A = this chain, B = another copy of it.
Amino acid sequence: MSPADSGVEPPPERTVAQNAQLALLLEVTGTPKPGNVDRAHDYDDLRFEHFVAGGVGARRGLDLAADGERLGRAFERAVAGMSQQRAGNTQFGALLVLVPLVRAAAEDDLSGRHAGDLAEATTVADAADFYRAFEHVDVAVDDPPEGMDALDVRRGAEAVPAIEDRGVTLYDVMTDSAEIDGIAREWTGEFDRSFDAAERLLELEGAVPDRTARVFLELLAAEPDTFVATQHDRETAERATERAAAALAGDADPWTLANEFVAEGINPGTTADLTAAALFVALERGLEI
């Protein structure tokens, strides 16, 4: 019997889509993330297990993105799969920022420049897919600008004819929203916050969920969360950023801040989404668990 007959095949490395899934699951695991669901905090109708199920269900859309499907379609399928749990919207924004990054990684060019090119190349069909994704979840959004009711994302699939008539691409949608939505800003800004935060994850030491909590706080301390601004208002979002900065500086306790934010319903969801994106890039760049 030769050694080759009893040989053991090397373990498989995680695929790009697996790393994206792992990023979603590590993101919810990071604790404390003031205002977010984490290992120590839930909301009444939005709990840890919903994010776990969301991360499992999103996988088929992530596989589509890695395998070359158009980005809008991959995103819509990821959201559809994510939504197969009772809390509804857990990771809509995280999936939106991840999908171009997943494709860039699958094309062996995980850079802000290439992910930005992929974003810019999205089409009217991608925009139609994006609007269809809203059929699977309730997502907090502001009223559309004057005269734009036909393109209100809350119309979901009903808006598709108007999208097609007007020739609106998904990149157009992102451009229109970049001022008020941090993920749209990533799409139109070469994902710079995601990549910078990924470098922070790689620089820091210690257990990955602890680094995650730290980078979340750094992100929130640097920029007001656009989801908080939508759910509440600009002032609340700016104040939340000030409070995060205080915690980062050691003038407040992140655990106390986490309890306060949950009690006040301040949930920095956009910051969580960016944290997931950062984790994905870091995993692709060799972050070990």
Interface residue ranges, A against B (CB under 8 Å)? 1, 5-14, 18, 21-22, 25-26, 29, 39-40, 47-50, 52-53, 55-57, 59-60, 76-77, 80-81, 83-86, 128, 132, 135-136, 156-158, 160-161, 164, 207-209, 288-289
Contact = CB atoms under 8 A, between A and B. Distances in A.
Interface of A is mostly: helix
Given A8-B135, A12-B80, A26-B53, 19 more contacts: A5-B161, A8-B76, A8-B132, A8-B157, A11-B136, A13-B84, A14-B84, A22-B53, A22-B56, A25-B52, A25-B55, A26-B49, A26-B52, A29-B48, A39-B40, A47-B209, A48-B209, A49-B208, A85-B289
Q: Give 7 closest A-B pairs by Cβ, nearest first.
A: A6-B160, A11-B80, A53-B289, A1-B161, A85-B289, A22-B56, A8-B135
Contacts of A164: 1
Contacts of A208: 49
Contacts of A80: 9-12
A12 B136 CA distance: 11
Q: Choose among A9, A49, A84, A164 the residue with the greatest number of B CB atoms under 10 Å from its CB.
A: A49
Contacts of A76: 8
Nearest to A73: B9
Contacts of A86: 288-289
